[in-house]
Amino acid sequence: MHIVVLDAQALAPGDLTFDSFSTFGQLDVYQESRPDEVLSRCADADVVITNKVPFNRARIEALPRLKYIGVSATGHDIIDKEAAAAHGVAVTNVPSYSTDAVAQHVFAFILSLANSVDLHDRSVKEGRWEESTCFCYWERPLFELKGRTLGIVGLGSIGRRVAQIATAFGMEVIYTSPHSRLDGREPVSLDRLMEASDIITLHCPLTSDTRAMISRDTLSLVKSGAILVNASRGPLVDEDAVIEALDSGRLAWYCADVLSSEPPRGNKLSKHPRTLITPHIAWAPIETRRRLMGILASNLESYIQGGMQNRIV
């Protein structure tokens, strides 16, 4: 069996390795792969491991030996699943490995705005406190989370964990979800959630229904000064509409770990003064990536033994 890892850089930039996969067969690991390199590198592959390298119908059809694609992430929109099924290519993903890490990142954003710890640390180091005539000062208004309403869009494992943390802070939690229920509480419509929430956080997959779900129309409903957090998928929001809402003051802040294009070359949101942007790192704690690596290997082992672990095709 020939196994090819196409973009190891994100998952294992030096602190982890794919060495355990060599027990399954010949292993070739590439830190990254340009589009023009994919077919030649995978020509003899039975198994491909990919994080962001897409496999559309044309690419799948050009690889007749390919039997298995392991997506080293939860989202699997990079795979043409109909084409994979038609050509007998099994596809697996890694669900629920990053629940705690992403929920933690969401509250890192929220607490960064609530308490402005980094901002005030910088001001102290720049001498502002030494120059103050008062024993305290603040560079921008601070606020408590208790009593504020958090609206959660999507109630998968991450959305549920975010709800638990918010409840511990004394926040009021509302949510919208087509299927799940939270502690017997009924979901609300997206419009109602946008109207009622002080902070809105997105936790749903990217589909044809959810693409640009946060639009000019939905943003027109938010209360002035609301905060929007996106640690899910960049294209869930219409980024031009978000910029307009920030410039008008309808949105106070946009916090995002994801953008519509990554890296965000020329993306105006990445440098907007009322955004907090991190480079898609909510999933990146070492414990989280180690867990992902273990599930990824277990998925392949299950496939080899005829199992169906985390199989989506």
Catalytic residue ranges: 233, 262, 280
E strands in 1-120: 2-5, 26-29, 47-50, 68-71, 90-92
Cα-based torsion angle of the residue sequence 243, 248, 250, 255 in order, rounded to the nearest 10 degrees? 30
Axis crossing angle, helix 157-168 with helix 99-115, rounded to the nearest 10: 40
Q: Are strands 172-176 and 226-230 parallel, antiparallel or unpaired?
A: unpaired
Q: Which helix (H) or strand (E) holds 83?
A: helix 81-86
List the beta bridge partners of residue 153: 176, 202
Residue with tokens 């050009």: 62
Whole-number Å distance between alpha carbons of 214 and 20: 41
Q: Which helix (H) or strand (E) holds 108?
A: helix 99-115
SS3 assignment, position 116: coil
DSSP state of 296: H
